[in-house]
Amino acid sequence: MKFDTPATTNPIDQMKVVGKPIPRIDGYLKVTGQAKYAYEWHDASTPYAYGYPVGASIARGRITSMDIAAAEKAPGVLAVVTTLAVGERKKGKFNTAKLFGGDEVQHYHQAIAVVVAETFEQARAAAALVKVDYAEEKGAFDLKEAMKTADKPADSQQPDTSVGDFDAAIGSAAITLDEAYSTPDQSHAMMEPHASIAAWNGDEVTVWTSSQMIDWWRADLATTLDIDKEKIHLMSPFIGGGFGGKLFLRSDAVLAVLGAQAAKRPVKVALPRPFMINNTTHRPATIQRIRIGAERDGKITAIAHESWSGDQPGGQLEAAVAQTRLLYAGANRMTAMRLATLNLPEGNAMRAPGEAPGLMALEIAMDEMAEKLGLDPIEFRILNDTQVDPEKPERPFSHRNLIGCLKLGAETFGWSNRGKPGARREGNWLIGQGVAVAFRNNMMLPSGARVRLDRQGIATVETDMTDIGTGSYTIIAQTAAEMLGLPMDRVAVQLGDSRFPVSAGSGGQFGANSSTSGVYAACVKLREAVAAKLGFNSDDVVFENGEVRSGNRSVPLTEAVGDEGLVGEDTMTWGDLTQTHQQSTFGAHFVEVGVDVATGESRVRRMLAVCAAGRILNPITARSQVIGAMTMGVGGALSEELAVDTRRGFFVNHDLAGYEVAVHADIPHQDVIFMDETDPMSSPMKAKGVGELGLCGVSAAIANAIYNASGVRVRHYPLTLDKLIGKLPDVA
């Protein structure tokens, strides 16, 4: 099915199941420990062996020799596979740095060997016996230095945009702002480490892994190992978090497959936590410059956003200016992005790539600008709202209710009680409130599904879609139940298996809308098959209460599908509605913080997000996506930073003690409100994504609240106490 005209009334609009707060259907498995993650697939008769990775101890250079004699002789060792023995390999389409193979070291902790042994303990001990000699080469590790020689990347990455005459407009603007901001390297730090089990059977291999994108992984594994994609069976039904870190094939899968081949045994490989951060990808740091010019009435006349980021050679930009092209009005505007070459580990997508760090900067700038104008920051944003693409005014937003989010949020949060910077104090706490806008584009990817309706009246949905905690199992079941007129307990969902139709996968907040649309398409096919079998006119056919009706005829589905059952399979593809209309999601984050007047520690006291993201398919799982993102935004604002050792070229704090994500004590009760809306331009589901929207702007709202609390403006994340205490009131 191709979605190329706006949705009209369809069975989803009944909202008997879709849109209802139905608890996760896989919840009981997760709370009892019965959900099996990649490393946990177990068969009693299978002699699993354990692989343990060895990582490069330098950041850049070549391996001149590897001595594996001691490792091979160590107790229990079955095989040692080295990057030299494996030799140069083709790189997966989605990988920037190579995962394994050849003598070149491109970054610290790049995988250079896997040691396979009878037990985990033996493999780990033997891995420490591998001796490596290197010819080390100098590298670039410091973005501040490297930005001086940063390049303009290919036009496909849209490095430069310009509309009107920015220079003239900023020159003549009554009020202007010109500030620099920075965001640090961040780590996905999902709770389940990257892990895979590989089992060969003849020339075919089954890999249980932890992947957000089954088909991408399968293709890239085939490329990397130079084997036929059809010979690879990938399984990833439960994923312990991803946030973009499991979008692309990782080394654990490659090492498990090669280790299993060498050891002639099924092999399990998990990346040790202290190895993960430098071995895998991260969100790249940015340095940003924002200039805004406005008339005294608050109308923006000029806006410019420039960003510098770094990556491995051949890598990509962190597109931090993306939202600035669309979020606020202003006739004269420009954006520019430059890419520096860095020899740190690969930078790549992490939850809301582009917008997350971009809004961390832009939404502080908007707060600063509002203050310069003497305007309330909400009023300033409302004044500059736009219902069209500011670069192409002929191109409207499909649906945009940012103003509604801001107004409802302000009322709910008690925004009118906000005082002047540094004005409110309770004991040692300086209290302040901040607001920031959330904005993230709505993307759709082709997504397929197969729905089988059997004689017992059970519909089974099969798609290679993944559930990384997002609630895919549940919303897919809701979609099928709504389309087929079945109760939830008559729908089974199977995900994360490469034998199923290729789906959108999980990423870019495209998963929910795309994958349920694919299920919608398959259900339409199935409904047609049922109608055809019964000789019904498919135009007026109704699926309800386990029956199919047309005119005055009504047949139970169990009977209608016959002994063999019926199958519908289809893939949703997308027309040009995203070109003719700008499709985005919107929100407003409200935060209250306390800043300890003595120590400068900032703690979040209250949080509210108001989101406008089309139809909400399940308010429970959607809310969880948003509170989870708000929590990640707290970490991003207050503590998360991969510390770069610019001499030795690696992230120093490479474990969960050193890289501080938010803990329970950092997070207050969180409120989320969804605007009651649909977006018929987005899909037959009329839904959009929320999982990344929820993160966008949170950190800036916190930064703005800290300013309101303390009077100290910090433009460099994270807002740790050392950036505040020198400017806080004297306490001695």
- How near is the Cβ of 461 to other proteins at its closest, in Å? 9
Q: CA–CA distance from 677 to each of 179, 295, 665, 686, 688 (Å)?
A: 37, 34, 34, 9, 10
| Dist. CA 330–CA 501, nearest whole Å | 45
Does residue 590 belong to the site contacting other proteins (CB under 8 A)? no
Does residue 557 belong to the site contacting other proteins (CB under 8 A)? no
Does residue 274 belong to the site contacting other proteins (CB under 8 A)? yes
- How near is the Cβ of 321 to other proteins at its closest, in Å? 27
> Closer CB to other proteins, residue 208 or residue 308?
208
| Omega cis (within 30) before 718 | yes
Stretch that binds other proteins, among 34-42, 88-96, 438-446, 572-580 (CB under 8 A): 34-42
Helix (H, G, I), strand (E, B) or coil at 435: strand
Dihedral over Cα of 655, 658, 659, 663: its sign: positive
Q: Which of 110, 494, 513, 571 binds other proteins (CB under 8 A)?
A: 494
Does residue 515 belong to the site contacting other proteins (CB under 8 A)? no
> Closer CB to other proteins, residue 62 or residue 289?
62
Dihedral over Cα of 264, 269, 275, 276: its sign: positive
Does residue 538 belong to the site contacting other proteins (CB under 8 A)? no
Does residue 261 belong to the site contacting other proteins (CB under 8 A)? no
Residue 692 annotated to the active site: yes
- How many helices (DSSP H) and strands (DSSP E) are in the chain? 18, 32
> Closer CB to other proteins, residue 176 or residue 261?
261
Q: Which of 64, 65, 119, 456 binds other proteins (CB under 8 A)?
A: 119
What letter would DSSP give residue 412?
H
Q: Which two tokens stand for residue 84?
A: 């030299």
Q: Which two tokens stand for residue 156?
A: 């496909």
Backbone angles phi, psi at 199, to 5 degrees: -135, 120
> Closer CB to other proteins, residue 403 or residue 492?
492
Adjacent-strand bridge partners of 446: none
Other CB atoms within a 10 A radius of the CB of residue 596 amount to 19
Burial class (CB in 10 A: 0-12, 13-18, 19+), 563: exposed
Does residue 623 belong to the site contacting other proteins (CB under 8 A)? yes
Does residue 639 belong to the site contacting other proteins (CB under 8 A)? yes
Strands (DSSP E) contained in 74-227 are: 77-82, 104-105, 111-117, 131-136, 160-163, 175-183, 195-201, 204-209
Residues 57-96 that bind other proteins (CB under 8 A): 57-58, 75-76, 78
Strands (DSSP E) contained in 184-231 are: 195-201, 204-209
Which residues neighbour 414 within 8 Å (Cβ) at sequence distance 6 or greater?
none
Does residue 426 belong to the site contacting other proteins (CB under 8 A)? no
- How near is the Cβ of 32 to other proteins at its closest, in Å? 5
Does residue 512 belong to the site contacting other proteins (CB under 8 A)? no
Residues 640-659 that bind other proteins (CB under 8 A): 643-645, 647-648, 652-658
- How near is the Cβ of 632 to other proteins at its closest, in Å? 6
Adjacent-strand bridge partners of 78: none
Question: What is the distance, to the nearest Å, from the Cα of residue 364 to the centroid of all Cα atoms in its chain?
Answer: 23
Q: Which of 16, 20, 36, 533 binds other proteins (CB under 8 A)?
A: 36
Does residue 492 belong to the site contacting other proteins (CB under 8 A)? yes
Does residue 381 belong to the site contacting other proteins (CB under 8 A)? no
Q: Which two tokens stand for residue 364?
A: 């502080």
- How near is the Cβ of 610 to other proteins at its closest, in Å? 16
Does residue 34 belong to the site contacting other proteins (CB under 8 A)? yes
Does residue 120 belong to the site contacting other proteins (CB under 8 A)? yes
Stretch that binds other proteins, among 117-125, 167-175, 388-396, 551-559 (CB under 8 A): 117-125
| Dist. CA 176–CA 635, nearest whole Å | 31
Does residue 203 belong to the site contacting other proteins (CB under 8 A)? no
Residues 448-467 that bind other proteins (CB under 8 A): 460
Does residue 32 belong to the site contacting other proteins (CB under 8 A)? yes
> Closer CB to other proteins, residue 155 or residue 732?
732
Please, what is the end-to-end C-alpha distance for the chain in angstroms? 70
Stretch that binds other proteins, among 149-157, 281-289, 372-380, 624-632 (CB under 8 A): 624-632
| Dist. CA 425–CA 422, nearest whole Å | 8
Which residues neighbour 275 within 8 Å (Cβ) at sequence distance 6 or greater?
53, 55, 109, 654
- How near is the Cβ of 292 to other proteins at its closest, in Å? 31
Stretch that binds other proteins, among 96-104, 282-290, 432-440, 634-642 (CB under 8 A): 634-642
Pairing of strands 286-294, 300-311: antiparallel
Pairing of strands 644-645, 77-82: unpaired
State the residue for tokens 């069209």. 388
Q: Which of 2, 15, 46, 295 binds other proteins (CB under 8 A)?
A: 46
Q: Which of 86, 521, 588, 638 binds other proteins (CB under 8 A)?
A: 638
Residues 704-723 that bind other proteins (CB under 8 A): 718, 720-722
Does residue 325 belong to the site contacting other proteins (CB under 8 A)? no
> Closer CB to other proteins, residue 3 or residue 208?
208
Q: CA–CA distance from 60 to each of 106, 142, 342, 343 (Å)?
A: 5, 14, 10, 7
Does residue 244 belong to the site contacting other proteins (CB under 8 A)? no
> Closer CB to other proteins, residue 75 or residue 419?
75
> Closer CB to other proteins, residue 245 or residue 614?
245
Burial class (CB in 10 A: 0-12, 13-18, 19+), 573: middle
> Closer CB to other proteins, residue 200 or residue 380?
200
- How near is the Cβ of 697 to other proteins at its closest, in Å? 15
Q: Which two tokens stand for residue 591?
A: 């935060």
> Closer CB to other proteins, residue 428 or residue 537?
428
Adjacent-strand bridge partners of 542: 549
Q: Which of 177, 190, 675, 703 binds other proteins (CB under 8 A)?
A: 190
Stretch that binds other proteins, among 292-300, 395-403, 577-585, 594-602 (CB under 8 A): 594-602
Q: Which of 148, 202, 539, 576 binds other proteins (CB under 8 A)?
A: 202
- How near is the Cβ of 174 to other proteins at its closest, in Å? 38
| Dist. CA 394–CA 102, nearest whole Å | 52
Does residue 417 belong to the site contacting other proteins (CB under 8 A)? no
Does residue 412 belong to the site contacting other proteins (CB under 8 A)? no
Helices (H), 148-190: 166-172
Residue in 103, 669, 584 with CA at minimum distance from that of residue 328 = 584
Which residues are part of the catalytic machinery? 692
